[in-house]
Structure 1
Amino acid sequence: MASVAIAMAAAFLLYMGIHTTAYDWIDRTQSTQEAYARQKVRTEEALQQYIKDNSIALSDLSPLDEWVEREAYVTMVIYRSGRVIYSSYPFDVENVIIPEEDAAETEVMPVSDDGAYTFTFADGTASVLLMPFYEYRYYQWADRISVICGFLLFITVFLHLIQKKTSYIELLKKELQILEGGQMEYAVSVKGSDELGELAEGINRMRMSILEREQKEAEARQANQELVTAMSHDLRSPLTSLLGYLELLDEEETEDAAQQKHFIAASRKKAMQIKEMSDRLFEYFLVYGREEKPAMEPVDGSALFQQTVGESAFALEGRGFTVNFQIEEMDGIYYVSVDLFRRVVDNLFSNLTKYAAREYPVTIACVQTKGGARLTIHNRKRMDGALVESSGIGLKTCGKIMKEHEGSFDTTEDDDGFTVTLFLPKA
């Protein structure tokens, strides 16, 4: 709209400049008394010659229509004996009467008092009043030229002003073709804050959304592939051992009750390992397969951490672990799914029972932060042969649950041991 306004202003100024200059020239050269006299003499001579060449009679003046049409800038009235017999004006000539004092006819081409000439026709004479106004032809040409020049300037200025926009549109077209080819990493150029700039920003947001979705899908496929690989290994080992013990029980002919009891206990242990892995696998798919967000409820922070972390730490001490437990006063309300948060804590302390070294203390700290609560658990890993290799399903499930609570879940492992840190934001 600004480009249109500027172009219209420039066109109007040019139109007024040409129009004023042309009209001034016409007024000085074509609308003077001298110019009018020259035009009138030239017109009267041309009309007399036309009457003579075509032998026009007063009884039939219709051939004059062609001359009047050709000479568009001349008005003509012919009258005889005080009555108008022909007029280029569009009215009924039969009802027009010229006063007797204005109807005197003299010799050929003399001028009467009303400015009429006496013309000789094929069958007599009559008074002819000619009024040329050829200067209007120049006025019309001045108007046309002014309008045309103003319009051309409007188009020129407007196209020049929107050239950047049209170039930007062409650029967006080319960049969209790049995106259409599958190169979604290509960032669309954003220029300006108008509608085109907003369009480019929208395309970039859509592009980033598609990239994020593709990345999540790739991560999900990778995670599932790793899960299948890990579970196939973790399930195969105890299942093979279980089948071996069952075959020994079936084939052994010994009646050694102690040996049979040993085989049964070992089989039961392997079966429990398989059950625990299947439970973890079911829990993993239950959390990752859920599309809607879990139902949250407001919970007091102190009660939440005392009932989950505090009780689990006390139970860990009952299993023979040395626990350094520190918890601050957790003021404030937290929106959580209590069942899911308890599942996270249970997973973490279950891992401590299986993988933590009992000869080293387990450090548990619940700290109040500005935006919520941070739980940190640090332990040393067992190094004996009874340690079972972990597939990491439980930790992945914990990370997913904390993400649904808009929190975070991180794990680090070094020479000093294994550390888990989770953050739960306040309401």
Structure 2
Amino acid sequence: MKILKNFKSWLKKSRPKSKSIYVELLLLLLLAFGLAIGFFLAAYNLSSNYLDKYYSQIHYETKESKHYAARLQKYITQNNLQTTDKKDLDKWVLKQGILMVVIYKNDKVVYNRSGVAASSLEEEDLTSKDFQMTFADGKAAVYIEGIYPYRLYDLAFFTVIILSFILFFSVVMLGIRYQIKKIQKLSQDIMVLEAGDLDYEIKTKGYDEIATLATGLNEMRLSLKEQFKQKDELMDANAKMVTSLSHDIRTPLTSIMLYTEILKADPKDEEKRQAYLAKIAQKTQQLKTMSDRLFEYSLVNIEQDVELEKKGSFKEVFYDRLSDMSGYLFQQGFTVEPQFTATKGQVAVHETYITRIMDNLTSNIVKYADQNKPVKILTGENQQYIWLLFENKSQNKPSKIDSNQIGLENVKKMMRKMGGGCDIQAQTDLFTVILKFKRIK
């Protein structure tokens, strides 16, 4: 059993990965032809042996000769023939097709349809095969001999030929039917997919073009399923984002309306008026920030492809931007601890996206980070990515501005479109963002 399993395993591995239908059809024709030839040789040999055995039975030739002698006597009597009526006798003999007939009268050959000279026939002793027949001009001895098995041998030959052709045709049709059933099954699978069932798996058999097409359809099914899944996830994310954003917008908008009503009720107190105007300006700035984030979110979703126009070492691409970011955070009262390690690989980025990403991260740090704790910026690399890490302590009472994290969602989308990724890790008081840029060298 182990040897058989090993052989099957070897046979499976040795099969070609692809095989054309033309090759399969050629092999099918060769198989059918070989089976037909083998059947013909076996069947014809069997039938010939049977006929030889049958014709070797005792008295068979005598029986057949008597049969034809009786028919000849009937013909002679019905037409009142004489031994000299050669044309009429020839007509009957030729009609039989397999007989040799010789007529003797007074030991002389008066009619010869055997292909042998009359003188030779007169010298031979054929009396054991003679039949006495009555002609219009008297009695005569008639010698009859035939190739009796001839017709049955021919019949057996043509019967075996026909059966061999039927076998050949049947094998070919069975092979074609098998291929047609595969096409029909594939057509049914396609109808299931057209109905919208993308969970239906198209099973493939064989290595020909039909199997390749089935494999391609199955891969297309999986691709469509993944696309629809991503679309559904995007729609859900958009719905959640709109719901969250509408709630966040309502808060500053309600404050603006409230401060406006207060100003209307007591417009003369200049100190209060200036205070409320400052609060209205602050809330208006919050609304503007939210609207900018929403516009950026929509813009990232609409853009299908981006061109990575900025290529170079990590230092060439990010050094100036990180320096500007560190300087701005320092102005806002933060302590920055950069830990830049030398990286050997190169990256390619979309400059507009990088600008947006840096602005979003800077804005997030200013809004949520604790100024009493340092902001760490680290770099590193592995075989696939060069990464940039931002780490900061969160405030004890974080701001509610942009609580829907639409800015970070934009960062994730922009990093994915540039072929990289973004990991966000939020612990109790520690917030970490890792930007992963794909290495190009």
> 1:211-251, CA deviations, whole angstroms, 9 ceiling, x for partnerless residues?
11210110121011012102211211112212222232233
CA distance, structure 2, for counterparts of residue 402 and residue 23 of structure 1: 84
> 1:99-145, CA deviations, whole angstroms, 9 ceiling, x for partnerless residues?
9x959xx9xxx989xx9999876699999997743322222232234
CA distance, structure 2, for counterparts of residue 223 and residue 183 of structure 1: 24
- Taking structure 1 as reference, are residues 180 and 125 closer, same or farther at Cα in structure 2, changes over 3 Å only? farther
CA distance, structure 2, for counterparts of residue 260 and residue 286 of structure 1: 38
TM-score, normalising length from structure 1?
0.77
Corresponding residue for 1:341?
354
2:250 equivalent among 236, 257, 265: 236
Normalized per residue, the structure richer in helix is: 2
Partner secondary structure for residue 358 of structure 1: coil
CA distance, structure 2, for counterparts of residue 263 and residue 425 of structure 1: 49
CA distance, structure 2, for counterparts of residue 291 and residue 74 of structure 1: 94
CA distance, structure 1, for counterparts of residue 239 and residue 173 of structure 2: 58
> 1:389-416, CA deviations, whole angstroms, 9 ceiling, x for partnerless residues?
5222111111111111111112121114
Partner secondary structure for residue 409 of structure 1: strand
Match for 2:46: what amino acid? T
1:20 equivalent among 24, 30, 45: 45
Identical counterparts, % of pairs: 28
Shift of 1:50: 2.0
Corresponding residue for 2:266?
252
Corresponding residue for 2:68?
43
CA distance, structure 1, for counterparts of residue 112 and residue 278 of structure 2: 137
Corresponding residue for 2:200?
186
- Taking structure 1 as reference, are residues 26 and 268 closer, same or farther at Cα in structure 2, changes over 3 Å only? same
Corresponding residue for 1:95?
none
Return 5+ residue gaps in structure 2 as ranges. 1-23, 104-110
Contact 2:249–2:290, Cα closer than 8 Å, also in 1: yes
Contact 2:100–2:145, Cα closer than 8 Å, also in 1: yes
> 1:244-280, CA deviations, whole angstroms, 9 ceiling, x for partnerless residues?
22232233242x2221111111111111111111111
CA distance, structure 2, for counterparts of residue 293 and residue 336 of structure 1: 9
Corresponding residue for 1:403?
416
CA distance, structure 2, for counterparts of residue 423 and residue 39 of structure 1: 102
Match for 1:419: what amino acid? T
Contact 1:190–1:201, Cα closer than 8 Å, also in 2: yes
Trace 1:365-376 onto structure 2 (pairs within 5 A).
365-376=378-389
Task: Determine if the alignment matches structure 1 residue 313 to structure 2 residue 338.
Answer: no
Corresponding residue for 2:151?
137
1:53 equivalent among 49, 60, 78: 78
CA distance, structure 2, for counterparts of residue 61 and residue 124 of structure 1: 18
Return 5+ residue gaps in structure 1 as ranges. 79-84, 88-97
Contact 1:111–1:118, Cα closer than 8 Å, also in 2: no
Contact 1:111–1:117, Cα closer than 8 Å, also in 2: no
Partner secondary structure for residue 357 of structure 2: helix
Shift of 1:368: 2.6
- Taking structure 1 as reference, are residues 297 and 45 closer, same or farther at Cα in structure 2, changes over 3 Å only? farther
Contact 1:184–1:211, Cα closer than 8 Å, also in 2: yes
Deviates more, 1:384-393 or 1:209-218: 384-393
> 1:32-74, CA deviations, whole angstroms, 9 ceiling, x for partnerless residues?
99866764554344223223235468889689868865x4545
CA distance, structure 2, for counterparts of residue 66 and residue 148 of structure 1: 32
Corresponding residue for 2:7?
none
Corresponding residue for 1:357?
370
Task: Determine if the alignment matches structure 1 residue 422 to structure 2 residue 435.
Answer: yes
* Aligned length in residues: 404
Corresponding residue for 1:81?
none
Task: Determine if the alignment matches structure 1 residue 225 to structure 2 residue 250.
Answer: no
- Taking structure 1 as reference, are residues 298 and 385 closer, same or farther at Cα in structure 2, changes over 3 Å only? closer
CA distance, structure 1, for counterparts of residue 288 and residue 92 of structure 2: 115
TM-score, normalising length from structure 2?
0.75
Shift of 1:370: 2.1
Deviates more, 1:266-275 or 1:323-332: 323-332
Partner secondary structure for residue 370 of structure 1: coil
CA distance, structure 1, for counterparts of residue 137 and residue 318 of structure 2: 130
Contact 2:310–2:317, Cα closer than 8 Å, also in 1: no
> 1:138-175, CA deviations, whole angstroms, 9 ceiling, x for partnerless residues?
22232234335545655777799899988877876776
Match for 1:241: what amino acid? S
CA distance, structure 2, for counterparts of residue 155 and residue 339 of structure 1: 70
Contact 2:395–2:429, Cα closer than 8 Å, also in 1: no
Match for 1:139: what amino acid? Y
CA distance, structure 1, for counterparts of residue 56 and residue 144 of structure 2: 16
- Taking structure 1 as reference, are residues 25 and 307 closer, same or farther at Cα in structure 2, changes over 3 Å only? same
CA distance, structure 1, for counterparts of residue 410 and residue 137 of structure 2: 121
CA distance, structure 2, for counterparts of residue 23 and residue 356 of structure 1: 104
CA distance, structure 1, for counterparts of residue 161 and residue 76 of structure 2: 39
